[in-house]
C-alpha cells in the first residue's frame, strides 16, 4: 500500500492529527501571504518574524517604562488570578446565602439584574481618579466583571435543588450548615464550575483591558507601549502570549469541570435513590 | 385584599433595595468634598444638561450605531461560519484548534493592531466590535449544529427535507438556544469594546466623552456618564431578553411539556 495514502487516510480520521494540520496550515499561510505580498507585511508580519520577536522579547531584560516580557506576564497573571479568586469566593458565598433565603433572593433580584449589565469599563475613569493607575483599579474591574458570572450561576444552581432532597433534609432536621454541605452544594457545584469557567475568560479580558486603558503594569501595558513605538512584530508576539494564556486557562477549567462532573452524577444518583 | 398585599409586596421587592441603595448613596455623598466623589445631587443636576443635548446625537448615537453594526455583522458571520464548520466533522476537526486559539485571545488586545491596519476611523471601531463578538457566536453555533438530534437528521433525510428548508426549519432551529447563549455573551463583550475602541484616537462616542470628562476633571459629568452606560447596559439586556423570549418561545414550550410529561 502507498505509505503516503495511508498517512492521509490516518490524518483524515484522527481529529487530533487534523487539528495539528489545521494549526500548521494556519501558521504557514500567515508566513506565505505577507511574503508573497497578498497581505502587507508592515501590518501582518510573517509567522517567523513574530516568533523571532517573541524570542527577542523573552531575552530582553527589564527597562525603565518597559518591563521585560516575563515581568509583564507575571504581573498579568497576578492581577488576573487575584481578581478571579476574590470574585469566585465572594460569588459562591453570597450566592449560597442569597439563594438559600427566598426572602433575600426576592428582594435582591432587581438590584442584581440592574447592576450586572453595567459594563465594567464604565467604572474605569472614576477608578483612575480614586485609585490611581496601579494594580488596584484593574483589580476592582476584574472582580466586578467576573463576580456577576459566578453569583448568577450559583443562584441558578441553588434554585435547582431537588425538592425531594430538600424535604428529606428538613425531615431529618439537618441544620443550615449541613443542609448547605449535603444538599445545596452538590446540586450547585456544576453551576459553580460553569460560573468559574465564564469568569476566568471575562477576568482575563478585563485584566488586559485595564492594563491597556489604565496603564496597570502587565502584558496589556506592554502591548500599548509596543503600539506607541510602532513595533508590530512585538505586538503580535504579545497577542500570541495572551492567546496562549487563554488556551491554557480554558484547558484547565474544562479539565477541572470534568473532574467535578465525574463524581457528581453518582452523588445525585444516591440522593435520588 | 390579599391580591393587593401580594401586589404591594412585589412592588416593594422590585424597587425596595434599589431605593435604599440610592438613598444611602445620596446621603453618604451629600457632604462629600472629595472632588472625585461628588454628591449624587450634583451628578443628577448635571445629568440633563450633559446628556439631553447635542451629546445625545453626537456621541451616544454614533456609539450605539457602531455597536449595532458590529454586533449584527458578527451575528451574520458567526452563524454562517458556525453552520458551515459545524456541519462537517472533518472541517471541524481541522479548524477547531485554530479557533480555540483565536477565541482565547482577549479581544481588547486586538484593538491596537486593528488601529494600525484600518486607521482610526469608524471602520476600525466596528472591526474591533466584530473581532470580539464573533467568537462566542461562532463557537456556540458550531456546538449547537453539532448537537442536533440524530433522529431528526434521519427524519429530514427520509422526508427529503434539504437545502434552505432544512437549514431554516431544522439546523438553525435546533441550534438556536446555543446561538442565543453565544449572542448574549457577545453583547456584553460588544459594549466593552464599543467603549474602549473610542477611548484612544477618537473624535466622538461615549468612550471619547468619558476620556474628555476625566482629563478635564469634570467629575460630576463623568459619574453621570457611568450612569448612562449602566442604563444602556440594562436596556440592551432587557431588549435582548425580549428578543430571546420571542426566538426561543418554542423551546421553552417544549421544555415545559417535557417536564410535565415526566
pLDDT of residue B81: 92
Chain B contacts in chain A segment 113-152 (CB below 8 A): 113-114, 116-126, 128-130
A63 phi and psi, to 5 degrees? -120, 165
Residue A82 C-alpha cell reads as 487575584
pLDDT of residue B215: 79
Return mean pLDDT, chain A: 84
pLDDT at residue A196 above 60? Answer: yes
Structural domain range at position B131: 46-254
pLDDT digits (tens, 9 = 90+) for A199-255: 998 899 999 989 988 888 999 999 988 888 888 899 999 999 999 999 999 889 888
Domain range annotation of chain A? 80-272
Does B75 reside within a domain?
yes
pLDDT of residue A10: 58
**10 Å Cβ neighbour count for A123?**
19
Does B261 reside within a domain?
no
> Could you say which DSSP state residue A123 is in?
G
- How far is Cα B37 from Cα B32, in angstroms, rounded to an integer? 7
pLDDT at residue B262 above 50? Answer: no
Q: Which residues of B touch A113 (CB under 8 A)?
A: 234, 237
Chain B contacts in chain A segment 33-52 (CB below 8 A): 43-44
Does B210 reside within a domain?
yes
Does B37 reside within a domain?
no
Chain B contacts in chain A segment 15-34 (CB below 8 A): 15, 18-23, 26
Return mean pLDDT, chain B: 83
Residue B169 C-alpha cell reads as 426549519
Residue A163 contacts B where some CB pair is shorter than 8 Å = no
Span B77-93, average pLDDT: 87
B259 — pLDDT class (breaks 50, 70, 90): low
Residue A241 contacts B where some CB pair is shorter than 8 Å = no
Do A249 and B104 make contact, defined as CB atoms within 8 angstroms? yes
Span A147-155, average pLDDT: 90
Share of chain B above pLDDT 90, in %: 10
pLDDT digits (tens, 9 = 90+) for B226-256: 888 888 888 888 898 888 888 888 777 776 6
- Domain CATH number, residue B160: 1.10.3720.10
- The fold adopted by the segment(s) A80-272 is MetI-like fold (1.10.3720)
Q: Which residues of A touch B93 (CB under 8 A)?
A: 15, 18-19, 22
Best mutation target, A117, A206, A216, A222, to test chain B (most B CBs within 10 A) = A117
pLDDT digits (tens, 9 = 90+) for B206-233: 888 887 887 788 888 888 888 888 888 8
pLDDT at residue B35 above 80? Answer: no
pLDDT at residue B54 above 80? Answer: no
Do A250 and B104 make contact, defined as CB atoms within 8 angstroms? yes
Whether this model's ipTM surpasses 0.90 comes out as no
pLDDT digits (tens, 9 = 90+) for A129-144: 788 888 899 999 999 9
**Domains: count for chain B:** 1
Do A220 and B108 make contact, defined as CB atoms within 8 angstroms? yes
Does B17 reside within a domain?
no
SS (H, E, C) chain B: CHHHHHHHHHHHHHHHHHHHHHHHHHHHHCCCCCCCCCCHHHHHHHHHHHHCCHHHHHHHHHHHHHHHHHHHHHHHHHHHHHHHHHHCHHHHHHHHHHHHHHHHCCHHHHHHHHHHHHCCCHHHHHHHHHHHHHHHHHHHHHHHHHCCCHHHHHHHHHCCCCHHHHHHHHHHHHHHHHHHHHHHHHHHHHHHHHHHHHHCCCCCCHHHHHHHHHHCCCHHHHHHHHHHHHHHHHHHHHHHHHHHHHHCHHHHHHHHHHHHHC
pLDDT digits (tens, 9 = 90+) for A36-82: 877 777 788 888 888 888 898 888 888 777 888 888 999 999 999 99
pLDDT at residue A9 above 70? Answer: no
> Could you say which DSSP state residue A116 is in?
T
Do A118 and B230 make contact, defined as CB atoms within 8 angstroms? yes
Span B119-141, average pLDDT: 87
* Residue A28, helix vs strand vs coil: helix
Do A205 and B192 make contact, defined as CB atoms within 8 angstroms? yes
Cβ–Cβ under 8 Å, residues A92 and A192: yes
Smallest CA-to-CA distance from A198 within A159, A156, A250, A240 is with: A250
pLDDT digits (tens, 9 = 90+) for B144-200: 888 777 788 788 888 887 777 777 777 888 888 888 888 988 988 888 888 888 877
Comparing CB atoms, the residue among A118, A198, A205 nearest residue B107 is A205
pLDDT of residue A268: 45
pLDDT of residue A271: 42
Does B2 reside within a domain?
no
Q: Min CA distance, A95 vs chain B (Å)?
A: 17
A16: closest chain B residue by CA: B93
Amino acid at each position: 500500500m502507498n505509505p503516503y495514502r495511508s498517512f492521509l487516510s490516518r490524518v483524515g480520521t484522527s481529529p487530533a492529527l487534523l487539528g495539528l494540520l489545521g494549526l500548521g496550515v494556519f501558521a504557514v499561510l500567515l508566513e506565505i501571504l505577507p511574503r508573497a505580498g497578498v497581505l502587507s507585511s508592515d501590518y501582518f508580519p510573517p509567522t517567523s518574524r513574530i516568533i523571532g520577536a517573541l524570542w527577542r522579547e523573552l531575552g530582553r531584560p527589564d527597562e525603565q517604562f518597559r518591563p521585560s516580557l516575563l515581568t509583564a506576564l507575571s504581573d498579568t497573571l497576578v492581577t488576573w488570578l487575584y481578581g478571579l479568586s476574590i470574585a469566585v469566593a465572594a460569588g459562591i458565598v453570597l450566592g449560597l446565602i442569597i439563594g438559600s433565603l427566598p426572602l433575600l433572593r426576592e428582594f435582591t433580584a432587581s438590584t442584581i439584574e440592574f447592576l450586572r449589565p453595567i459594563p465594567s469599563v464604565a467604572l474605569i475613569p472614576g477608578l483612575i481618579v480614586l485609585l490611581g493607575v496601579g494594580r488596584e483599579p484593574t483589580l476592582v474591574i476584574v472582580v466586578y466583571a467576573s463576580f456577576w458570572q459566578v453569583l448568577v450561576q450559583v443562584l441558578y444552581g441553588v434554585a435547582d435543588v431537588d425538592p425531594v432532597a430538600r424535604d428529606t433534609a428538613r425531615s431529618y432536621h439537618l441544620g443550615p450548615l449541613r443542609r448547605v454541605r449535603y444538599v445545596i452544594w452538590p446540586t450547585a457545584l456544576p453551576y459553580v464550575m460553569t460560573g468559574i469557567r465564564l469568569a476566568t475568560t471575562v477576568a482575563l479580558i478585563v485584566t488586559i483591558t485595564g492594563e491597556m486603558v489604565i496603564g496597570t503594569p502587565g502584558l496589556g501595558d506592554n502591548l500599548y507601549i509596543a503600539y506607541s513605538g510602532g513595533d508590530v512584530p512585538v505586538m503580535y508576539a504579545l497577542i500570541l502570549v495572551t492567546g496562549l494564556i487563554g488556551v491554557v486557562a480554558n484547558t484547565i477549567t474544562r479539565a477541572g469541570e470534568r473532574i467535578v462532573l465525574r463524581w457528581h452524577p453518582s452523588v445525585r444518583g444516591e440522593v435520588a435513590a | 385584599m390579599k391580591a393587593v398585599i401580594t401586589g404591594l409586596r412585589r412592588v416593594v421587592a422590585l424597587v425596595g433595595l434599589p431605593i435604599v441603595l440610592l438613598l444611602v448613596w445620596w446621603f453618604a455623598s451629600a457632604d462629600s468634598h472629595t472632588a472625585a466623589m461628588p454628591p449624587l445631587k450634583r451628578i443628577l443636576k448635571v445629568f440633563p444638561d450633559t446628556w439631553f443635548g447635542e451629546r445625545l446625537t453626537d456621541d451616544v448615537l454614533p456609539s450605539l450605531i457602531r455597536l449595532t453594526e458590529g454586533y449584527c455583522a458578527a451575528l451574520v458571520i458567526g452563524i454562517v461560519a458556525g453552520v458551515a464548520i459545524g456541519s462537517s466533522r472533518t472541517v471541524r476537526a481541522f479548524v477547531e484548534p485554530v479557533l480555540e486559539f483565536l477565541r482565547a485571545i482577549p479581544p481588547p488586545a486586538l484593538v491596537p493592531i486593528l488601529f494600525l491596519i484600518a486607521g482610526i476611523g469608524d471602520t476600525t471601531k466596528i472591526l474591533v466590535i466584530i473581532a470580539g463578538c464573533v467568537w462566542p457566536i461562532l463557537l456556540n453555533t458550531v456546538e449547537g449544529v453539532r448537537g442536533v438530534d440524530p433522529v431528526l437528521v434521519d427524519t429530514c433525510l427520509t422526508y427529503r427535507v434539504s437545502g434552505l428548508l432544512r437549514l431554516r426549519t431544522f439546523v438553525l432551529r435546533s441550534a438556536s438556544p446555543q446561538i442565543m447563549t453565544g449572542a448574549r455573551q457577545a453583547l456584553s463583550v460588544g459594549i466593552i469594546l464599543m467603549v474602549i475602541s473610542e477611548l484612544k484616537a477618537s473624535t466622538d462616542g461615549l468612550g471619547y466623552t468619558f476620556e474628555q470628562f476625566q482629563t478635564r476633571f469634570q467629575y460630576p459629568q463623568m459619574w453621570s456618564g457611568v450612569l448612562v452606560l449602566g442604563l444602556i447596559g440594562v436596556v440592551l439586556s432587557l431588549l435582548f431578553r425580549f428578543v430571546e423570549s420571542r426566538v426561543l418561545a418554542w423551546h421553552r414550550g417544549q421544555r415545559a411539556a417535557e417536564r410535565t410529561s415526566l
